[in-house]
Amino acid sequence: MIIAKHQLPSPLTGEGLGERVFLAATGTLTLTLSQRERELRSFKWASLARWLALVLALSPLAASALPRVASITPCADQYLLGLADPAQIVAVSTAATDPRQSLFVDEARRYPATRGSGEELIALRAEVVLTDRWMPLRVTERLERFGVKIIQIPLPETWDDIATATRSIAAELDRSAEGEARIAAMQTRLAQLAQQRPAPDTAPLAAYFLPGGASAGSGTFIDTVLKTAGVRNLAAELGWQGWGTFNLEQLTLTPPELLVMGFFDQGGDSVRMSFIRHPVFQRLMARVPVIHVPDRYWMCSGWFLTEAAAYIAERLPKTARRR
């Protein structure tokens, strides 16, 4: 641990300490020092040592020796800010303070933000770097050569997998208790949502959309969220496994009763939105309820997905809410 000299308050260390330390270090001063000055100097050295000991003792990092962790993707930011002890967070990604992408904007402001380059992370002396499984490997390889441990966050698709992932990442951060607390809160929330859920036969048929018209069938965390929210997933009922793209013809043939839109906060108006401008889709949007789920609730898969489900559940048409 290095403490910059200028951070030391002057009453404890005496004026001009830096200068004297420098002179002492050069070894030229001893010849010219008077006895009194020599006493004074030894006193100051003792004082400095005592002060350093105090700082070390008070530092929570030194006390608990938690690994120093940085996160470099929006998803990793959520796991880090949600699980870690504030003292062990050395940096977050620049997306962590973007309210569209992060649930922990205020907390994230307290930490330096990096763009995830190797030099930044090494300069911050990160011991562990949290990233996503789909992160480019070049950076992580280089970091590992510097002895930095890389933890890749998986994309769990079910609540059980989310609990497992949360548990293992919490363990890596040496924060197992916090991980269990998050999992317990998630289970409570899920139980709550299960009580509000409409009976399966009255659950509305929903189509989930990404800005490009992509959607998610069974075996995806989107499907997990939709089921938890109490809607039937059109893509899954059409027999999709994994991700795909809706086409207007299919939507016309099997019209959904509800549209759930994801990631439209950042997509904005774009080339990919041409299907939304199509008159057929415009009529569909005018006819059925449209729920825009804020991006930050499902930036990636984690315990916070309960909030995406709750967001949808709260906005379901009234007829579907009775159990």
166 CB contacts (<8 Å, ≥6 apart)?
A: 79, 83, 179, 182, 183, 186, 302, 303
Shortest spacing between CB 136 and other proteins, in angstroms = 13
Of 180, 174, 159, give the one whose Cα is nearest residue 226: 159
3-state per-residue secondary structure call for 252-281: HHCCCCEEEEECHHHHCCCHHHHHHHCHHH
Which range of residues in 9-17, 105-113, 149-157, 267-275 is near other proteins by CB under 8 A? 267-275
Candidates 53-61, 117-125, 177-185, 250-258 — which segment interacts with other proteins by CB under 8 A? 250-258
Q: How far is the CB of 114 from other proteins (least distance, A)?
A: 17
211 binds other proteins (CB under 8 A): yes
Q: Is 19 among the residues that bind other proteins (CB under 8 A)?
A: no
Nearer to other proteins, 54 or 280 (CB): 280
- The single residue among 15, 119, 201, 249 that binds other proteins, judged by CB under 8 A, is 249
What 17-23 contacts at long range (C-beta under 8 Å, 24+ apart), as own/partner pairs, is 17/44, 17/48, 20/44
Whose tokens are 């030194």? That residue is 62
Among 16-24, 37-45, 143-151, 270-278, which window interacts with other proteins (CB under 8 A)? 270-278
Positive/negative CA dihedral, 125, 128, 134, 140 = positive
Closest separation between CB of residue 220 and other proteins, Å?
Answer: 12
List the one residue from 42, 59, 188, 252 that touches other proteins (CB under 8 A): 252
Strand partners, 291: 260
Residue 101 CB, nearest approach to other proteins (Å) = 9
Stretch 80-119 residues interacting with other proteins (CB under 8 A) = none
Among 47, 176, 196, 245, binds other proteins (CB under 8 A): 245
Q: Which of 57, 279, 318, 322 binds other proteins (CB under 8 A)?
A: 279
Collapsing DSSP to helix, strand or coil, 242 comes out as coil
**Residue 102 beta carbon to other proteins: minimum distance, rounded to whole angstroms:** 13
Residue 322 phi, psi dihedral angles, 5° rounding: -70, 145
Tokens 């991006």 locate to 295
Contacts of 144 (CB under 8 A, 6+ apart): 150
Told to check if 294 binds other proteins by CB under 8 A, we report: no
- Of the candidate spans 40-48, 222-230, 271-279, 310-318, the one that interacts with other proteins by CB under 8 A turns out to be 271-279
Contact status: 212 vs other proteins (CB under 8 A):
yes
Nearer Cβ to other proteins, position 267 or 289?
A: 267
DSSP label of 68: P
**C-alpha distance across the termini of the chain, in Å:** 59
Give the amino acid at 264: F
Binding other proteins (rule: CB under 8 A), the pick from 133, 272, 287, 323 is 272
Q: Considering the complex, state which of residue 82 and residue 211 has its C-beta at the smaller distance from other proteins.
A: 211
Q: What's the farthest any 2 CA atoms get from each other in the chain?
A: 98
